[in-house]
């Protein structure tokens, strides 16, 4: 994959696809807009994460044109999804001359791009205001490419989408990966292709169908795969246990059954087949609510009328000791309904085990990242992936259009 090391950016206009899809808080101050105050950026993690590439390019004498999406305006201009608050925050963080363009493309935008001095930044309006973005319209890709001499993609979170600003444009300009995207690809490739063993994958969260391919990949490359969260009920059901009212649909049970067949027999480990661990105790509740009756269940036979909402303390102990002795840990998906305090202990304990593990630790997934943040541990893992769906698709071994467009010789 081509990187910033392959580009000579001095004096050039560089269009950088960033992921500024940040959460906004409605209760900003200033001139009121229809329906409330001016939004403010409530979490600037993604803006801060893009600074490595932005500052390296500025230091190299580039003139920057930044392009990002924000939310889902569905191809129409939406005042509440303007990148204005993002441009303001970026100005504070960089101290650079940061200008917000009035639109994504057009004569006024072209004029602003041409006026840029070295080190200046022009932020285009939300690229999803243009219907051609998600349809990968070649005309939009050409109009974006006309704003710059070079293209850099630093938006790993949307690399699994072939959009005009992620894929189309990469074929029209000399292009390379930014530092953030480069690090994502290197880290994830490293754990899949040459991990420090034992490689331990922890897969939790809500839906087996979305993650079965991830589980299957890790059954091939990892030493141990541990299942938690609502994901575990199809597995427990496939093993013949009662699951009560727990989340568990028939299709997922079939997926779980086939994964169990691919796993190693725990008494006779086989190469290329990881051991698959499922919970041996649970926290169950009568409802998914903070005030619901709940208790630890010693075992995994969920009584009728109850649902499994977290892994139990014995499972936590087993999983934590495997994590502690791992050479590499990949974690995706919470162990329970961690947003509710009665069902947060399993996710907290696994997060703490991952945070204190000696091996390389990689965490992916929006809710897993939120869980780390909730427990104040987001700085305690080696790599917190910025991609949700993109991370899962990469791990599955699928070709990401935004990544493959940066591989090979490219446009000279």
Tell me which residues touch ligand ADP (CB under 6 A). 205-206, 229-230, 247, 288, 308-309, 332-334, 336-339, 365-368, 388
Sheet holding 282-285, edge to edge: 294-297, 282-285, 307-311
Catalytic status, residue 366: yes
Residue tagged active-site, from 17, 46, 128, 217: 46
264 binds, among ligand ADP, Mg ion, none (CB under 5 to 8 A by kind): none
Closer to Mg ion by Cβ: residue 205 or 402 = 205
207 is a catalytic site residue: yes
* 174/336 with CB nearer ligand ADP: 336
Distance, CA of 225 to CA of 211 (rounded, Å)? 13
The entry of ligand ADP, Mg ion, none near residue 309 (CB within 5 to 8 angstroms by kind) is ligand ADP
| Shortest distance in whole angstroms from residue 404 CB to Mg ion | 25
Minimum CB distance to ligand ADP, residue 362 (Å): 13
Q: What are phi and psi of 378, to 5 degrees?
A: -65, -25
Residue 404's H or E segment, with its range, is helix 401-404
Q: Which of 60, 190, 389, 410 is catalytic?
A: 389
Q: Which listed option, Mg ion, ligand ADP, none, makes contact with residue 244 (CB within 5 to 8 Å by class)?
A: none
Instruction: Give the residues across from 316 on adjacent strands.
Output: none
Instruction: Please give the residue whose beta carbon sits closest to ligand ADP in the complex.
Output: 205
Q: Given the complex with ligand ADP, which of 124 and 226 has the nearer CB atom? A: 226
- Judged by beta carbon distances under 5 to 8 A according to partner kind, the member of Mg ion, ligand ADP, none in contact with residue 334 is ligand ADP
Cα–chain center distance at 164: 20
Of the pair 90, 202, the CB lying nearest ligand ADP is at: 202
Q: Smallest distance from the beta carbon of 249 to Mg ion, in angstroms?
A: 18
Nearer to ligand ADP, 165 or 368 (CB): 368
Binding-site ranges for Mg ion (CB under 5 A) = 366-367
- Minimum CB–partner distance for residue 374 and ligand ADP (Å): 11
Nearer to ligand ADP, 334 or 359 (CB): 334
The H helix count followed by the E strand count for the chain is 13, 17
Q: Which one is catalytic: 327, 366, 388, 410?
A: 366
Active site residue 389: yes
3-state secondary structure of 174: coil
Residue 378, classed as helix, strand or coil, is: helix
Name the minimum Å distance from CB 115 to ligand ADP: 42
- Residue 298, both tokens: 């010693």
Find which of ligand ADP, Mg ion, none residue 336 binds, CB within 5 to 8 Å per kind: ligand ADP
Is 224 in contact with 198 (CB distance < 8 Å)?
A: yes
Given the residues 207, 257, 262, 318, the one annotated as active site? 207
Q: Which does 165 bind (CB under 5 to 8 A by kind): Mg ion, ligand ADP, none?
A: none
Q: What is the DSSP string of 311-342?
A: E-HHHHHHHHHHHHT-SEEEEES-SS-TTSGG
- Active-site residue flag, 376: no
Residue 230 interaction partner, one of Mg ion, ligand ADP, none, beta carbon < 5-8 Å per kind: ligand ADP
Q: Which position's Cβ is nearest Mg ion?
A: 367
d(CA 145, CA 152): 11
End-to-end CA distance of the chain: 15
* Interatomic CA distance for residues 412 and 407, integer angstroms: 13
Which uninterrupted H or E stretch holds 148?
none
Residue 59 or 209: which CB sits closer to ligand ADP? Answer: 209
Do you find a cis peptide bond into 46, omega within 30 degrees of 0? no
What secondary structure does DSSP assign to 217-241, as a single string? HHHHH-SEEEE-GGGHHHHHHHTT-
At 285 the three-state DSSP class reads strand
Which residues are catalytic, by number? 46, 207, 366, 389
């Amino acid at each position: 994959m081509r990187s910033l090391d392959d580009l000579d950016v001095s004096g050039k206009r560089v269009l950088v696809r960033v992921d500024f899809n940040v959460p906004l808080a409605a209760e900003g101050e200033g001139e009121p807009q229809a329906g409330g105050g001016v939004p403010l950026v409530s979490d600037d993690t993604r803006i801060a994460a893009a600074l490595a590439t932005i500052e390296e390019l500025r230091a190299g004498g580039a003139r920057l044109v930044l392009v990002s999406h924000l939310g889902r305006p569905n191809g129409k201009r939406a005042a509440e999804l303007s990148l204005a608050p993002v441009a303001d925050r970026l100005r504070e963080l960089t101290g650079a001359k940061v200008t917000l363009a009035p639109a994504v493309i057009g004569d006024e935008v072209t004029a602003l791009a041409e006026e840029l001095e070295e080190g200046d930044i022009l932020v285009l309006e939300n690229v999803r205001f243009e219907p051609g973005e998600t349809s990968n319209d070649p005309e939009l890709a050409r109009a974006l490419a006309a704003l710059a001499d070079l293209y850099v993609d630093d938006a790993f979170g949307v690399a699994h989408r072939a959009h005009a600003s992620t894929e189309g444009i990469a074929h029209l300009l000399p292009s390379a990966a930014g530092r953030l995207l480069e690090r994502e690809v290197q880290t994830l490739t490293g754990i899949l292709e040459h991990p420090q063993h034992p490689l331990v994958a922890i897969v939790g969260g809500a839906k087996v169908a979305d993650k079965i391919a991830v589980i299957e990949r890790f059954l091939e490359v990892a030493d141990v795969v541990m299942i938690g969260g609502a994901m575990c009920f199809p597995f427990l059901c496939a093993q013949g246990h009662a699951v009560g009212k727990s989340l568990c649909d028939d299709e997922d049970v079939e997926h779980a059954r086939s994964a169990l067949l691919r796993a190693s027999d725990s008494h006779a480990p086989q190469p290329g087949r990881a051991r698959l661990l499922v919970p041996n105790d649970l926290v169950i509740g009568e409802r998914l609510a903070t005030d619901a009756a709940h208790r630890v269940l010693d075992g995994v036979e969920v009584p009728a009328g109850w649902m499994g909402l977290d892994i139990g303390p014995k499972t936590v102990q087993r999983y934590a000791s495997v994590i502690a002795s791992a050479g590499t840990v990949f974690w995706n998906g919470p162990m329970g309904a961690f947003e509710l305090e009665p069902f947060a202990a399993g996710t907290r304990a696994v997060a703490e085990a991952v945070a204190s593990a000696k091996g390389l630790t990689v965490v992916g997934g929006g809710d897993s990242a939120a869980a780390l943040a909730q427990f104040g541990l987001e700085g305690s893992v080696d790599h917190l992936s910025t991609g949700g769906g993109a991370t899962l698709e990469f791990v599955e071994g699928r070709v990401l259009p935004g990544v493959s467009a940066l591989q090979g010789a490219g446009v000279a």
